[in-house]
Chains A and B, each alone.
Chain A
Amino acid sequence: MLENVDALLLSRLQFAFTVSFHFIFPAFSIGLASYLAVLEGLWLWTGRAVFLNLFRYWLKIFALTFGMGVVSGIVLTYQFGTNWSVFSDRTGPILGPLMAYEVLTAFFLEAGFLGVMLFGMNRVGKGLHLGATIAVAVGTFISAFWILSANSWMQTPSGFSTNEVGQFTPESWLGIIFSPSFPYRLVHTVMAAYLTTALAVGAVGAWHLLRDPANEGARTMFSMAMWMAAVVAPLQILAGDLHGLNTLEHQPAKVMAMEGHFVSHPEGAPFYLFGLPNQEAARVDYAIAIPKASSLILKHDLNAPIDGLDTVDRADWPVVPIVFWAFRIMVGLGFLMLALGLLSLVARWRGRLYDWRPLLRFALVMGPSGFVSVIAGWVTTEVGRQPFTVYRMVRTAESVSPLDAPAVGTSFLAFIAVYFVIFGAGTAYILRLMAQPPKPGEEEPEDQAQPVRAAGITPAPGVDPGRAIRGRGAEART
């Protein structure tokens, strides 16, 4: 039995590790694909070279991000079966088709047109190339649609019955795809991806503006990113609030953990700004609270009674400290993003958007905040669903594969080692590309292996011939 528990814990750690790592890449590529489509569209519409240069600048970064997203994503498709076989057997008839639709409608679309998007600028017309870019962007969105539908079904299962061997069987596909939490989760997550991208793009723009406020590419990307932050950050907070109310209705224990409400509050519940939830003693230590604020947020009434975890069987509690803190990190960063968006509006109004250094520094520091809050939000919702894989239907402990602990331990260590080497290198390459200022005559990704040279000039002899091979676009420009 003990051996089984170890394999369970290791499988949970391995899944959490691999899925969190993976999530970083699509969170960026969903937003970036749309951004690239907008840039290319603006270029074709206005004919301004700055948009083409920015398109090429971010395309190189997109290629790296997307590649890492693909390879880290394949792992997940197989990990359901390798590590969570009982879960797969029981939910396969429901979740399998959702994921199959994701592959059929999204992955093939993205993969099929990615090659054209990256390498095909000189092989197809401009209009067709824009079509390929849009296809990739649409693909990333469709992918989010299906995988979040699957995830939402695990959170708020609906439209199913069960058969004699314990499998979930479909009753209504619409009920399954559009489970109660799905619309909220989809909006909240896709907006998170857009916001994450805007913050990353904004930070890159800010970095280069701090060095050269006249850089046209940096100005354009910073301005676009700050518009995005100013518009999306408040909408995202609103969407998050609605998502939270939906969770309160369907998964009350998760909200109790987010709020740190171990006990019920019949006359208005406090909101803890800070505190150390003590799961053992079922109380929040060192709490700093705003009285009745939680009732105001959740019920829009200061004195509304709020149930606590004391109304839930202790065996069904999530791990409160993790959910409590992940939620606070997400919300705290969300309000900082709102502040950044508002400050940028002030600076824009005063005509100081590109040279007000405190704003540029703030935007730079906020660069990684989207990634952090995406992961924090993910942790909030996933750990908050525990101890179930399918909420109130299947326990995590009974979902796991019959594996030996040493097997899972070995694979977990291998994943850690490989991910840190590979994705560490990938992140370093992305940062290296970001460190270069956007400039006129930006090369296409395919030209990257070549030494920096003016566009349109065939590489000089003496250059490593292996590098010159890569210059597929050269003949079309000369």
Chain B
Amino acid sequence: MTGLADLQTIWAFIIAFAIFAYVVMDGFDLGIGILFPFFRPGTERDTAMNSVAPVWDGNETWLVLGGGGLMAAFPLAYAIILPALYAPLIAMLLALIFRGVAFEFRWRDPAHRRFWDISFIFGSTVAALAQGITLGALLQGIAVEGRSYAGGWWDWLSPFSILVGVSLVVGYALLGTTWLIMKTEGELQEHCYRLAWWLGAGTVAGIAAVSAATPFLQAAYYEHWFSWPQVLFTAQVPLLVIIATVVFFVSLRRRWEYWPFLIALAFFALGLMGLGISMYPYVVPEAVTIWDAAAPDSSLIFMLIGAGILIPIILTYTGYAYWIFRGKTGHEGYH
């Protein structure tokens, strides 16, 4: 195995970071869409929508970076994975259209607000489900021949991919509800605390179910998790999930406003770590490693210079934009 500091590994981490940033940020605003049916039309829905309206577009940009970055750094992986996951990816793209326009359209057309609310709910839920299915289908493996996908257009569909899809919907909803616990007060906040109990339990159940099934998908995954002495390291991941779960429910009971969201982020970080343990160094399981898939060094270096300079700047001004809209969202504005 090549060292941890080679260009390909650095790029694998950058793309993993983009995916994590995407999941964290678009996760909570997709989650708010998923939870929309549980909020009453009027104040609750409008406040929930207001809390993400200034930032959703920036959040979604991480998805573009993930896709564009994959094409740039690992073109072969991009060329194999995307056709293999054609149906769920197209569904995700269409769903993102429905929810993205709803931010503007529901204010612009009060007479059809119900329609745009439904489009927001439907779009958010389908996008989350499709992203989960995509991940599940990738984990379970993709048929490859030469430099291209060699399977059919329904290969992605399996009980496992559906399980990951549903788990991700629940997980995003958890991010959404805990975000609202931070950003709102009063009745809506109470409502979110109640929802967070169920969604927290559901997310932990999802993590458990996916984790239990994963090692049996590919022999290599089992190896990665249970071979000695690696197991000493990998065992920390489920342990941390258990600790996080305890802290999560304590923080809900004690009404700590920020902790539920931070713990929800920790669940996702641990999930991504688990994904990394299962897959690394493969980008298409058991078929293509990051070194097979990588673009030539000159491409990776050219982009690394840009990413190294620009990603910190982006994080700074994204942080600034969040700072401007900090505090509770309410009908008196953000105070």
The answer to whether A422 and B101 touch across the interface, beta carbons within 8 angstroms, is yes
Contact A70 B57 (CB under 8 A): yes
Q: Could you tell me if B83 and A402 are in contact, using CB atoms closer than 8 angstroms?
A: yes
A215 CB within 8 Å of chain B: no
Interface contact tally, CB-CB below 8 A: 276
Question: Contacts A104-B307, A426-B101; is A170 near B54 (CB within 8 Å)?
Answer: no
Docked CA distance A270–B12 (Å): 57
**Residue B318 at the chain A interface, CB threshold 8 Å:** yes
Q: Which residues 93-121 of A have a CB within 8 angstroms of B?
A: 93-97, 99-105, 107-116, 118-120
**What is the bound-complex CA distance between A71 and B104, given in angstroms?**
12
Contact of B57 among A67, A93, A407 (CB under 8 A): A67
Cα distance A173–B108 when bound, in Å? 45
Return chain B residues, CB-CB under 8 Å to A111.
57-58, 60-61
Total B residues in contact with A, Cβ cutoff 8 Å: 78
A165 to chain B: which residues have CB within 8 Å? 147
* SS class, residues of chain A in contact with chain B: helix
The interface residues of chain B lying within 8 Å CB-to-CB of A404 are 152-153
A402 touches B149 (CB 8 A): yes
Cβ–Cβ contact A94 & B299, under 8 A? yes
Which residues of B lie under 8 Å from residue A78 when comparing CB positions? Answer: 67, 82, 89, 93
Interface string of A146-179 (1 = CB under 8 A from B): 0000000000000000010101011101000000
Asked if B286 lies at the interface with its beta carbon under 8 angstroms from chain A, I say no
Contact B50 A469 (CB under 8 A): yes
User: Is A429's CB within 8 Å of the partner chain B?
Assistant: yes
* Size band of the interface chain A makes with B: 35 or more
User: In whole Å, how far is B296's beta carbon from the nearest beta carbon of chain A?
Assistant: 5
- Quick check: A475 and B332 within 8 Å, CB to CB? yes
Q: In this complex, which of B83, B147, B149 has the most chain A Cβ atoms within 10 angstroms of its Cβ?
A: B83
A63-103 contact mask (Cβ, 8 Å, vs B): 1 or 0 = 11001101111110110111101101111111111011111
Instruction: Tell me, rounded to whole Å, the shortest Cβ–Cβ distance linking B40 to chain A.
Output: 9
A426 to B148, CA, bound (A): 38
Find chain B residues with CB under 8 A from A432 CB: 108
CB nearest neighbor in A for B100: A71
Which among A73, A78, A170 has the greatest number of chain B C-beta atoms within 10 A?
A78
A71 and B119 alpha carbons, distance in the complex (Å): 14
In the assembled complex, which residues on chain A have CB atoms less than 8 Å from the CB atom of B2? none
**Contact yes or no, A120 B303, CB < 8 A:** no
Closest to A84 in B: B79
Beyond contacts A89-B76, A97-B302: 6 other A-B pairs, Cβ-Cβ < 8 A, are A75-B93, A77-B67, A88-B75, A100-B68, A103-B61, A115-B53
Give residues in B with beta carbon < 8 Å to A.
41-43, 45-47, 50, 53-55, 57-58, 60-61, 63-65, 67-73, 75-76, 78-83, 86-87, 89-90, 93-94, 96-98, 100-101, 103-105, 107-110, 147-150, 152-153, 295-296, 298-299, 302-303, 306-307, 310-311, 314, 317-318, 320-321, 324-325, 330-334
Chain A residues near B (Cβ < 8 Å): 63-64, 67-68, 70-75, 77-78, 80-83, 85-86, 88-97, 99-105, 107-116, 118-120, 122-124, 163, 165, 167, 169-171, 173, 401-404, 406-407, 411, 414-415, 418, 422, 425-426, 429, 432-433, 448-449, 464-476
